Amino acid sequence: MQINLITGISGSGKSVALRAFEDAGYDCVDNLPVSLLESLISTLEKENSERIAVAIDARRGQSIADLPSILENLKRHHQVRVVFLNANTDALVQRFSETRRRHPLSGNTKQSQSVTLIEAIDKERNLLEPLRSQAHTIDTSNLPAHALRSWIGDLLKDKPLGLSIIFESFGFKKGVPSDADLVFDVRCLPNPHYDKDLRPLTGNDQPVKEFLEKIAEVVRMESDIIQFIDKWLPHYIADGRSYLTVAIGCTGGQHRSVYLVNRISEHFRTKKDLAEMQLTFLDRHRELDSIPAAKP
């Protein structure tokens, strides 16, 4: 059975992610108590269910501490993937303010002491940290709902086995992705933004590609990043991790970082000595993916 556990910080988009799994044909359960997870899997196994997505959060407090050991037990017989959604505190505070909802750990019962929103967020981060360290993490701080659904859709195209390498472009002016394992700063390279003809385009467009590929510094930066990843990738594979996120950032996340992500991703996708390994690749362009698609 393919089991996808969706967890993370309240307000980071778990409901959006769960709906994406549901749209993809998964059996979905929301807000499941940790103590019921194994019995649920046993029941669905008897019903010949093959794909399931379960959303679990920290609203029941310390019981979340039992989840890592439960997941280890499930991994003995099933394919298990943990998707952890995260966002920075400022983004979470804004979302709770806009929706006027209480945080699950704010203490809204007579038996529990009320805490501030930021205190509740910090408490939840501490409770969920053991899960985050073993999960595929997505930072939704600057990611709208439609982009998160798209990223989940891309994730479901790949098998939850082996190492998944995510190449992600971003703009430093909106912050470094919190899920990044390796970060490369390419703001030192010549910027197509200052060419009025290239400014409205992106690193996906041919004129921008032609502009950047002629610059020696860009070629050297691409080569250096590839060499670094080539050197250390075997160590990340040997570490037994499931995901490696390589983030490449320029100022706005529109030209240079997009171009380099595409180039570097293509290099590793077509690298012959990696073809037989259980590696999958995902490309993400955070700032471009955040722009809603134009209506026809």
Predicted pLDDT of residue 271: 87
Mean pLDDT, the chain, rounded, equals 88
Please check the confidence at residue 268 and state whether its pLDDT lies above 60. yes
Domains present along the chain, CATH in parentheses: 2-155 (3.40.50.300), 163-289 (no CATH)
In angstroms, the CA 291 to CA 140 distance is 14
86 in Cβ contact with 140 (< 8 Å): yes
In angstroms, the CA 14 to CA 8 distance is 7
Confidence tier at 215 by pLDDT (50, 70, 90): very high
Residue among 129, 114, 142 nearest 12 (CA) = 142
In angstroms, the CA 265 to CA 204 distance is 13
In angstroms, the CA 31 to CA 263 distance is 41
In residues, how long is the chain? 296
Using alpha carbons only, what angle is made at residue 16 by residues 13 and 21, rounded to the nearest 5 degrees? 125
Q: How far is CA 141 from CA 124, 146, 161, 287, in A?
A: 16, 13, 27, 12
How far from the centroid of its chain's Cα atoms is residue 276's Cα? Answer: 25
Residues 39-57: tens digit of each pLDDT: 999 999 889 888 999 999 8
* Positive or negative: CA dihedral 134, 138, 139, 145: negative
Residues 69-120: tens digit of each pLDDT: 899 899 999 999 999 999 999 999 999 888 888 888 876 544 445 678 898 8
Predicted pLDDT of residue 243: 85
Residues 171-194: tens digit of each pLDDT: 999 999 988 999 999 999 999 999
